[in-house]
Amino acid sequence: MGLIVQKFGGTSVGSAERIKNVAARVLEEKNNGNDVVVVVSAMGKTTDQLVTLAKELSSNPSKREMDMLLSTGEQVTISLLSMALAEIGISAVSYTGWQAGIMTEDVHSNARITNIDTKAIEKKLTEGKVVVVAGFQGVTDSGEITTLGRGGSDTTAVALAAALKADKCDIYTDVTGVFTTDPRYVKDARKLLSVSYDEMLELANLGAGVLHPRAVEFAKNYHIPLEVRSSMERESGTIIEEEVSMEQNLVVRGVAFEDEITRVTVIGLANSLTSLSTIFTTLASHHINVDIIIQSTTGFDTTNLSFSIKTEDLEETLHVLENNKETLQFERIESEVDLAKVSIVGSGMISNPGVAAEMFEALAKNNIQVKMVSTSEIKVSTVVEEKSMLAAVQVLHDTFELAGNKVKA
């Protein structure tokens, strides 16, 4: 007998019929002799609907009250799934994030898990019950309800798997696995049999929505075997593991992309040893994530600094910078919106020089202008015009020969 953590996303629990299907998947795992902890998201578009409702009442609702509101979505799902399990003869108990002992830092809307007290869950498991846990939420030391940000239910599931020393964590979603790129936009995208933790972490950070980066970090740090699989189709998914055992011939394993990117340029920044650290420390203190960074010295005393952010963070970024203008010592700020990030990822790039050159050559041949570049050992990211994003994805998918029929289990 083992312990399996199963996570089901919003689409998988989007209706009463789909919740019954989830209950059937839990029953299969119980019949295999395993203990089961299930983590669920809010049903379908519930979170979006709650956000819309809040904005009808306030143009700028407090993050604390938004956490109070949004955490209710998962509570609906856990209770309904527990009822569905009872109907098919499975004894189950539902827990909110705080009932499940999930402790977080004191940051609303994007908190990180700091600790999990597993006593309550373990007690119910010893009684033979299935424990159904609300994803995406936790509680601070002072008793404040928090949410974990986009993809937080993935993080909840993998963190629980680590804390409980589970044998495996299955992430059930509306796709059959991790693909070479998003199959909704590239028809010949192919399902991968396996992806390394490092590759998946890069793909997740670069816009691949199938797994949240924090979830992959937990899996890598605690060596939790992950499988991304379909909640509807009965087939094997994609294994996320330390070393990829199959498809070693792929230099590039996937193409990730993300829209709504903005380039911010700080012009006439004081050219001192501490100017860069000061500006990024200031932004980080307001939880603004900065991605691609380019510095260009314009003279002895000044420098220009460009960096990319999510467009949704632009207003706050400009506000923070302007409020600290005297300390940061710059002349003015410019921004360019309607941009996107397109990236190639693959551990094979380490031992294959020339991949970046091939990427830039392919984009240039198709008249796609590259505005910013960032590289690591296993990825190359470019910022392009948003209107060119999907064309760039298709070009790179073709260039690195990622197309093919979907791999069958």
Cβ neighbours of 359 (radius 10 Å): 25
Q: How far apart are the C-alpha atoms of 348 and 197, rounded to whole Å?
A: 14
Give the pLDDT score at 243.
74
Residue 248 in this model has a pLDDT that exceeds 80: no
**From the centroid of its chain, how far is CA 150?**
7
Q: How far apart are the C-alpha atoms of 349 and 356, rounded to whole Å?
A: 9
Residue 407 in this model has a pLDDT that exceeds 50: no
Residue 245 in this model has a pLDDT that exceeds 80: no
Give the pLDDT score at 44.
92
Residue 246 in this model has a pLDDT that exceeds 70: no
Tell me phi and psi for residue 303, to 5 degrees. Answer: -145, 155
Give the pLDDT score at 278.
92
Residue 280 in this model has a pLDDT that exceeds 90: yes
Instruction: Give tens-digit pLDDT for 2-46.
Output: 999 999 999 999 999 999 999 999 999 999 999 999 999 999 999
Q: How far apart are the C-alpha atoms of 105 and 114, rounded to whole Å?
A: 6
At residue 129 the predicted structure's pLDDT band, cuts being 50, 70 and 90, is: very high
Amino acid at the residue 282 = T
Give the pLDDT score at 228.
96
Give the pLDDT score at 275.
85
Q: How far apart are the C-alpha atoms of 160 and 338, rounded to whole Å?
A: 38
Instruction: Give tens-digit pLDDT for 63-86.
Output: 999 999 999 999 999 999 999 999
Average pLDDT of the chain, as a whole number: 93
> Measuring CA to CA, how many Å separate 294 from each of 142, 297, 327, 338, 385?
41, 10, 21, 19, 17
Instruction: Give tens-digit pLDDT for 317-367.
Output: 999 999 999 888 899 999 999 999 999 999 888 888 899 999 999 999 999
> Can you tell me the mean pLDDT for 92-99?
98
Which of these, 379, 280, 378, lies nearest to 321 by C-alpha position?
Answer: 280
> Can you tell me the mean pLDDT for 126-143?
97
3-state secondary structure the chain: CCEEEEEECCHHHCCHHHHHHHHHHHHHHHHCCCEEEEEECCCCCHHHHHHHHHHHHCCCCCHHHHHHHHHHHHHHHHHHHHHHHHHCCCCEEEECCCCCCEEECCCCCCCCEEEECCHHHHHHHHCCCEEEEECCEEECCCCCEEECCCCHHHHHHHHHHHHCCCCEEEEEECCCCCECCCCCCCCCCCECCEEEHHHHHHHHHCCCCCCCHHHHHHHHHHCCCEEEEECCCCCCCEEEECCCCCCCCCCCCEEEEEEEEEEEEEEEEECCCCHHHHHHHHHHCCCCCCCCEEEEECCCCEEEEEEEEEHHHHHHHHHHHHHCHHHHCCCEEEEEEEEEEEEEECHHHHHCCCHHHHHHHHHHHCCCCCCEEEEECCEEEEEEEHHHHHHHHHHHHHHCCCCCCCCCC
Question: What would be the CATH architecture of the domain defined by 3-174?
Answer: 3-Layer(aba) Sandwich (3.40)
- Per-domain boundaries in the chain: 3-174
Q: Which of 63-72, 98-107, 192-201, 293-302 has the lowest mean pLDDT?
A: 293-302
Residue 409 in this model has a pLDDT that exceeds 70: no
Residue 254 in this model has a pLDDT that exceeds 60: yes
How much is the pTM?
0.84
Instruction: Give tens-digit pLDDT for 5-17.
Output: 999 999 999 999 9
Answer whether 126's CB lies under 8 Å from 3's CB: no
Answer whether 263's CB lies under 8 Å from 307's CB: yes
